[in-house]
Structure 1
Amino acid sequence: MSSPGTERILVFIPAYRCAAQITRVIDQFDAQVQHRIDTVMVVDNRSPDDTLEAAIAQARSRITGCQFIAWRNDDNYGLGGSHKAAFRYAIEHGYTHLVVLHGDDQADIRDLLPLLDSGAHRDHDCLLGARFMPGSRLVGYSLTRSWGNRVFNLLFSLAVRGRVRDLGSGLNMYRLKAFEQFYYLTFPDDLTFNYMMLLSSYARRHRIRYFPISWREEDQRSNVRMVSQSFRVLGLLASFMIDRTRFLARDVRERVRAAYPGTIVHRHGAE
């Protein structure tokens, strides 16, 4: 467990249609990982399969050294909406840091341990896993997609006037003090939420550090339509470059919600 009275770390696992992978994600939480965190929270976005049930079954025997929470969104909010639900829960329940680990078993939570051991999470607002930097390891990722990501990283770097090494790898950590204002409520609820968060963090001068990760593609199913997604990301970037203040201030959600409620369907372990 993290040091009582100083910091509390919640690992948020967004999950949708990944029953086959979520058990492997839960298996990443060995004794070393559980010793360094306080809570693992799987947030299921109304999966049509038994993703949440599989997570609970695996966690009953695997996660015994920290708290485990299984949460189901009251509606399908999208990936961004699940982030908002988790950020709100973590802030309201007194956590100091939030780790995002995608539930499709592409990233590995153990790549974060050296930064926790060194205390880097206390000195930075955002620790962002990067697939395309020295020390990273890619398995099963096509060369075409790799170069496409590198091009987008370059474009974002030019827009923010800083070094962007990855737009969203599936493993990030945030110091919640920098996010208490909940300004990201108006960001998209879909997969482009991560891009808005990244642009906003640079605009707000957050202390950002990238770190190398291991990342693989095996049996995962992508929910991304690559061509349409690419054009939308370019549109977001162009709007940011034209007027970043106005762009980050407006509500760009397709559906405006006052909150992103959900239900805790299972919990075990000490809080």
Structure 2
Amino acid sequence: MNKILLFIPMYNCEKQIVRVLGQLTDEVCSYLSEVIIINNRSTDNGEQVVQDYLNDNHLPVKVSLFRNDDNYGLGGSHKVAFKYAVENDFDYVILLHGDDQGDISNILPYLKNKEYENYDCFLGARFMKGSKLQGYSKFRTFGNIVYNTLFSIGCGYKVYDLGSGLNMYKVDILRDKFYLKYKDNLVFNYCMVMGQAYYKHKVKFFPIIWREDDQVSNVKMVNQAMIVLKLLGSYIVNHKKFVTGEHRDKVIEDYTAKTIYTNQQ
């Protein structure tokens, strides 16, 4: 049986994190070896909410709450989780955002039939046949489809999403830390898409349900659009220079976090 880590990044989502933890049914947990929730220095009461939930609900899997030693951003939290997955000999790591926009049940059929084993990157997609969007404007949907098309052309493989909140990676591809110099913010996911193309990772997208109701987006649309276009342009001009170059605004030697709580001592 594969050793699978579930990684849940958390940043100021105390209202939503309980709903995310509620997705961890006995059936879902039966496929997981461990769950880590990584708090990226939130300013709300999220840590206490998580601890209260885990004290009141005895999940049949080890769940640990980490706190980043600095505010690393979403990409930086990925790096903390990837490091943990490598050092603890996991076979796969699943990402599930802590703001309850995605649902881990969408990947459950593929955990059952083990289709994910055929790929290095098994990625949830909001903009492909079979996907469902709730509370997502037609304008944003159109914009994402345009960008997916541009990235498909630039990367040489069909891209259905530049970064949803439900992804799965084979840990073997993470051992060389190809992603380490990618930006630590939301742009990290876009860099991953291009890195996957350059290193010829086997990529598969699967449809997901995505909802927006009480979540707060940290994305500034126009500014983000320009950044993404520049990234893609840089990759197209020189693939190798892009994937091996330093993209971070601040170089961090080691992405570290402390264990705040675990439900299994």
TM-score range, shorter chain: over 0.9
Mapping of residues 65-84 of structure 1, within 5 Å: 65-84=60-79
Comparing 61-70 with 85-94, greater Cα deviation is found at: 61-70
Question: Paired residue for 2:40, among 32, 35, 45?
Answer: 45
Separation of aligned partners in 1, 2:193 and 2:165: 13
* Identity percentage of aligned residues: 42
Is the Cα–Cα contact under 8 Å of residues 182 and 248 in structure 2 kept in the other structure? Answer: yes
Counterpart residue identity of residue 38, structure 1: S
Comparing 60-69 with 87-96, greater Cα deviation is found at: 60-69
The residue number in structure 2 matching 1:247 is 242
- What CA deviation, in whole Å up to 9, does each residue of 1:150-181 have, x standing for no partner? 00000000101211000011000000011111
Comparing 35-44 with 56-65, greater Cα deviation is found at: 56-65
Comparing 261-270 with 46-55, greater Cα deviation is found at: 261-270
Is the Cα–Cα contact under 8 Å of residues 26 and 60 in structure 2 kept in the other structure? Answer: yes
Separation of aligned partners in 2, 1:150 and 1:56: 39
1:232 partner SS: helix
CA shift for structure 1 position 8: 0.8
The residue number in structure 2 matching 1:12 is 7
Once superposed, which parts of structure 1, at least 4 consecutive aligned residues long, lie more than 4 Å away?
Answer: none
Separation of aligned partners in 2, 1:269 and 1:24: 21
| 2:175 is aligned with 1:175 | no
Counterpart residue identity of residue 157, structure 1: S
Gaps of 5+ in 1: none
| 2:108 is aligned with 1:117 | no
Q: Number of aligned residue pairs: give it.
A: 265
The residue number in structure 2 matching 1:226 is 221
Question: Paired residue for 2:157, among 154, 162, 176?
Answer: 162
Is the Cα–Cα contact under 8 Å of residues 64 and 269 in structure 1 kept in the other structure? Answer: no
| 2:57 is aligned with 1:55 | no
Counterpart residue identity of residue 269, structure 1: Q
Separation of aligned partners in 1, 2:153 and 2:39: 35
| 2:98 is aligned with 1:103 | yes
Separation of aligned partners in 1, 2:199 and 2:54: 37
* RMSD, matched Cα: 1.0
Is the Cα–Cα contact under 8 Å of residues 129 and 212 in structure 1 kept in the other structure? Answer: yes
CA shift for structure 1 position 63: 4.8
| 2:64 is aligned with 1:85 | no
Is the Cα–Cα contact under 8 Å of residues 54 and 263 in structure 2 kept in the other structure? Answer: no
Separation of aligned partners in 1, 2:47 and 2:254: 22
